[in-house]
Amino acid sequence: MAKKTKYVKVSFLGGVGEIGKNMTVIECGDDMIVVDMGITFPKEDSPGMDAIIPDITYLKQNIKRLRGIVLTHGHEDHIGAIPYYAEELGKVPIYGTALTIGLLRRKLEKNAKKCNLVTVAAGDAVTLGNIKVEFIKVCHSMAGACALAVYTAGGTVFVTGDFKIDNTPIDGKKTNIQRIAEIGAKGVTLMLGESTNVERKGSSTSERAVGQTLESIFAANKKKRLIVACFASSNYRVQQVLTLAHKYGRKVVLAGKSMKSMVEVASSCGELNVPRGVIVDSIGKLKPGEALILATGSQGEPLSALNKLSKGEFNKINVGKDDLVVLSSSPIPGNEKAVYDVINALFRKGAEVIYDSMNDIHVSGHAYEEELKLMLSLVHPLYFMPVHGEYRHQHKHVEIAGTLGVPSKNIVIPNIGESYSVTPKGFRKHSNVPAGNIYVDGVILEDGDAVVRDRRSLAEYGMLLVLAAVDLDRGKLCGDVDIVARGINLTDEVQRNVKNAAAEALRSADFDKSDIDEYAKCLKKAVRKLFMKDRQFPIIIPVVVEG
Ligand SMILES: [Zn+2]
Ligand SMILES: [Zn+2]
């Protein structure tokens, strides 16, 4: 029998206290839905990993109550984890607008058939058990972005998703302020508001401004070959480049797998209008002034088309003095070095490069302070939780909500794994649900935390392999102790100390004298102690055999 609980419960599996891997669970009674299932790209603190995805133990524990997954839009930090969990999700329906589902279908590859993908349009509502979800059009850096109104017996939860207010969007489809105001007027119990650009004063610039800047570049550089790099997912940016190329008589070569894939998906679902004949397969005999290369890699990604171009490794294209490179992006914090390395390499080749120092060569897809205020005013929630941001962003968003009249007792900064229930009468914190980082390196790693820890130790301190043969009965080492080191300065003194430690460990009373594995542990401890004195923590691998 269905429980009679009349509260809505919200649990955060990712996307709070961090920018990336957004995933929120909303429940009411026996019904559960998930909003977004994103990915994070690893930084230096997790070397060599492909991706970080949310822990979905809580979903697996409740899979029978899971009625659907609703996607706000098609960015990686909102849909990227789904392909890794396609098996677990089985036939749970996944809802999104055409571009979102189109991109997800591409990512799922052959698993797409196994998944239950459902395309909706902004303005649609879907019923998932006793929960109803309405998709509301918002502007963002890609098409198909929606805010969500989640109607439950315990009240309405309004999820802003990633948004901005753009009054002159490229496709003419504005953020549906009227509908958001109506929903707000009927009463929203809880609002989850994105916080990415909360530190930026004023309002974001319209995407259209980038087109004007790009046009001035096209007009002033008719003799040069243009190389434009931007996020493949930015269909509006791609649209403006294609339109201008057509207007200025240039042919466009798409460089990078994700750029080609995005152009195909976006044009097939009507979110990109490719002028006839403007895209060609190769530069061929085109003069510099007749060609444009539209490339991925605006974040300096090592395997991207722009990076390869900067090294002369892309389709035998030599970048040089006839080229003008435009990075239509700004580096995501953490990517600066990679981006500037590529820019340096392009300048070295003689190309001219225009990057973030120039106004309006890139605009953000995320709301600035005044837009966040407008959203809070329209939704006018009883409770407010800032999401999609690091702690400082969330903290600042709380201040803003306070100035707009949300009482401070009704504002909570949620952390990963936390679970809250809200009703019009109050909110309650529940015990935490399982949540955290799951590392992917080719495959999902079972104990990724340990792998990451080891890789960090290897990178910082190196590795020492100690090979010893022992006669435990007689308490003696047989022959010499061999030492193999990587990333460690193996001086005679270090070797002597390690050998002494191996002999001393054998004499210690710390281990069971009949167990060779116990001696190996003891040896490891003794060697570790030698390095700890200098605050060094190399990986130590003892290999002990009976002599
Ligand atoms: Zn986004
Ligand atoms: Zn996002």
CA distance linking residue 14 with residue 31, whole number of Å: 20
Task: Tell me phi and psi for residue 310, to 5 degrees.
Answer: -65, -20
* Listed residues: CB within 5 A of ion ligand 1: 75, 162
Query: In angstroms, what is the span from residue 36 Cα to ligand 2's centroid?
Result: 10
Q: Which residues pair with 280 in a beta bridge?
A: 253
**Cα(514)–Cα(39) distance, integer angstroms:** 49
pLDDT value of position 5: 57
Residue 432 lies in a domain: no
Cβ atoms of 396 and 388 within 8 Å: the answer is no
Residues 393 and 307 in one domain: no
Residues 219 and 184 occupy one common structural domain = no
Q: Are residues 95 and 240 in the same domain?
A: no
How many angstroms separate the alpha carbon of residue 75 from the centre of ligand 1? 5
- The ligand with the least distance to the CA atom of 77 is 2
| Amino acid identity, position 239 | Q
Ligand nearest to the CA of 19: 2
Residue 487 exposed, middle or buried by CB count within 10 Å (0-12, 13-18, 19+): middle
**Are residue 166 and residue 275 in the same domain, yes or no?**
no
Which mean pLDDT values do the consecutive 10-residue runs of the chain (547 residues) have?
72 96 97 97 83 96 97 97 94 98 95 94 98 98 98 96 97 97 97 97 96 96 97 96 98 96 97 97 94 94 92 91 94 87 96 86 96 98 97 98 94 97 89 95 88 87 91 86 90 91 84 84 90 89 89
Tens digit of pLDDT for each residue in 207-227?
A: 999 999 999 999 999 999 999
Q: What angle do CA 127, 7, 158 make, to 5 degrees?
A: 55
In this structure, what token pair is assigned to residue 74?
């098609």
Q: Which residue has the tokens 């009240």?
A: 155
Q: Is 160 part of a structural domain of the chain?
A: yes
Q: Are residues 263 and 317 in the same domain?
A: yes
Instruction: Categorise residue 262: left if φ over 0, alpha if ψ from -120 to 50, beta otherwise.
Output: alpha
Same domain, 313 and 454: no
330 and 397 co-located in one domain: no
Return the pLDDT at 4: 58
Ligand 2 geometric centre to CA of 388 (Å): 7
CA of 371 to the centre of ligand 1 (A): 16
Q: What is the pLDDT of residues 223-279, one digit of tens each?
A: 999 999 999 999 999 999 999 999 999 999 999 999 999 999 999 999 999 999 999
First to last CA, the chain: 68
Go through 294-309 and write b for each residue having 16 or more CB atoms within 10 A of its CB, e for each that does not.
Answer: bbbbbbbbeebbbbbb
- Those residues whose C-beta lies under 8 Å from the C-beta of residue 36, and which sit 6 or more positions away, are 15, 22, 23, 24, 69, 70, 71, 72, 78, 79
State the CATH number of the domain containing residue 458.
3.10.20.580
Token look-up 């007749």 returns 290
Helices (H), 388-537: 391-403, 448-461, 492-507, 516-532
Mark which of 308, 325, 354 sits at the end of a domain: 354
Number of domains composing the chain = 3
Collapsing DSSP states into helix, strand and coil, what is residue 415?
coil
Ligand minimally distant from the alpha carbon of residue 146: 1
- Asked whether residue 65 is assigned to any structural domain, the reply reads yes
Whole-number pLDDT of residue 534:
85
Q: 229 and 161 in one domain? A: no
Asked whether residue 300 is assigned to any structural domain, the reply reads yes
CB 319 within 8 A of CB 349: yes
> Helix, strand, coil: what percent of the chain each, to 5?
35, 25, 40
Q: Residue 268 Cα, ligand 1 centroid: separation in angstroms? A: 21
CATH number, domain with residue 313: 3.40.50.10710
CA of 78 to the centre of ligand 1 (A): 7
- Give the distance (Å) from ligand 2 centre to CA of residue 201: 20
Rounded CA separation 76/42 (Å):
13
Same domain, 372 and 486: no
273 and 418: one domain? no
At 1 the pLDDT is: 46
State the distance from the centre of ligand 1 to the C-alpha of 145, rounded, in angstroms: 8
| 145 lies in the same domain as 267 | no
Residue 73 C-alpha to ligand 1 middle, in angstroms?
A: 7
- Which of 333, 354, 375 terminates a domain? The answer is 354
Q: Do 252 and 346 belong to one domain?
A: yes
Contact 337, 368 (CB under 8 A): no
Using alpha carbons only, give the angle 345, 351, 353 rounded to the nearest 5 degrees. 80
Q: Amino acid letter at 288?
A: P
Last-in-domain residue among 354, 387, 404: 354
- Tell me how far the alpha carbon of residue 140 lies from the centroid of ligand 2, in angstroms: 10
Domain-located, residue 2: no
- CATH number, domain containing residue 411: 3.60.15.10
Residue 436: per-residue pLDDT: 93
Domain that holds residue 503: 449-546
Dihedral of CA 336/339/343/348: which sign?
Answer: positive
Integer Cα distance of 126 and 132 in angstroms: 6
Residue 3 placed within a domain: no
Q: What is the DSSP letter of 44?
A: T
Q: Which ligand is nearest to the CA of 164?
A: 1
Evaluate whether residue 187 is within a structural domain.
yes
Look at residue 506 in the predicted model and tell me its pLDDT: 84
Kindly report the pTM of this predicted structure.
0.91
Q: Is 359 within the bounds of a domain?
A: no
Alpha-carbon distance of 291 to 278, in angstroms, equals: 10
